[in-house]
Amino acid sequence: MREAGANGIKIAYREEGDPGAPTLVLLHGRTADHNDWNGITQHFAARYHVLAPDLRGHGASDRPGEYPVPAMAEDVAALLGRLGVERAVLVGHSLGAMVAYLVAMGHPGLVERLVLEDPVPPRPLEGRPPIEEDGSTAFDWRMMHDTERQFLQPDPAWLAGLATITAPTLVLSGGPQSPFRADETAALIPGARLVTIEVGHLIHVSAREAFKRAVDDFLGA
C-alpha cells in the first residue's frame, strides 16, 4: 500500500502493474476498500498501471468527517494529478461508480473510458431501510449517514450531468436482483453500452469471469 496527499487529505492506494502502462483506476463501493478488487487488480495489471484507492472514510484513507460525493470525486482527480496521470480508465462499483461518473463530468479530459458497475443512480432513492450501526470499524459511520442522505436526495445537477459525459462508457447491470436500475442510468449517458449480468449488485464478486470479459471486450473495442 502507498499513500499520497490529495485534495487536502491522505488517500491510501494499492498499485500494481507497469507504471509506464496506461492507467486504470478501480473505485470500490460503500463500506469496502481496495481489497474488494482482489483477483481483479492482477487481471488488469497485465496490461495496465492499476490504482485501487481507498475512498475517503474507508480503509486506510483519512476520515475527515465530511463526505460529499463530489469531494470524493475531487480526491480521485487530485490523486491522479499528484501521480502525474493525465488520462485514465475509471472502473467504479456502486458508490465508486457514482464517484467515477462525477469525475467524468467534472474532468472530461482526465477520463479515457468509463466503466460503471451497478452504479448508484443520481435520482432520489425511496424505500430504503434506515442505517443501523454495528461494531464495524473498517469505515467511518458518518460516511454512511452522509452518503445515504445524498442517495436519498442527490444534487439535481448530477442527473443533468450524465448527458455531458464524453468518455466512452460501459454500464454493467446486475439485473432484477439489483437494488438499482442501471439501465436507466445508461440511457442518460450518450452512447453508453449496457451489459446485464443477472447476479445482483456485486457483479465483480458473484460473476468475476463475466465481469472481466465484459470489461475486456469494452476496453478492447
pLDDT digits (tens, 9 = 90+) for 50-100: 999 999 999 999 999 999 999 999 999 999 999 999 999 999 999 999 999
For the chain, give the mean pLDDT: 97
pLDDT at 56: 98
Q: Which domain holds residue 109?
A: 2-219
* Percentage above 90 pLDDT, the chain: 98
pLDDT at 6: 98
Give the C-alpha distances (Å, rounded to integers) separating 191 from 21, 49, 100, 165, 168.
Answer: 27, 26, 17, 10, 7
**Counted domains in the chain:** 1
pLDDT at 127: 87
pLDDT at 171: 98
pLDDT tens digits, one per residue of 30-50: 999 999 999 999 999 999 999
Does residue 221 register a pLDDT over 70? no
CATH number of the domain where residue 138 is located = 3.40.50.1820
* Residue 5 bridge partners (DSSP): 10
pLDDT tens digits, one per residue of 195-218: 999 999 999 999 999 999 999 999
Q: Three-state SS across 108-155? A: HHHEEEEEEECCCCCCCCCCCCCCCCCCCCCECHHHHHHHHHHHHCCC
Helix axes 69-82, 95-106, angle to 10 degrees: 70
pTM over 0.85, yes/no = yes
Stretch 129-153: mean pLDDT, rounded?
96
pLDDT at 30: 98
Q: 54, 60 in Cβ contact below 8 A?
A: yes
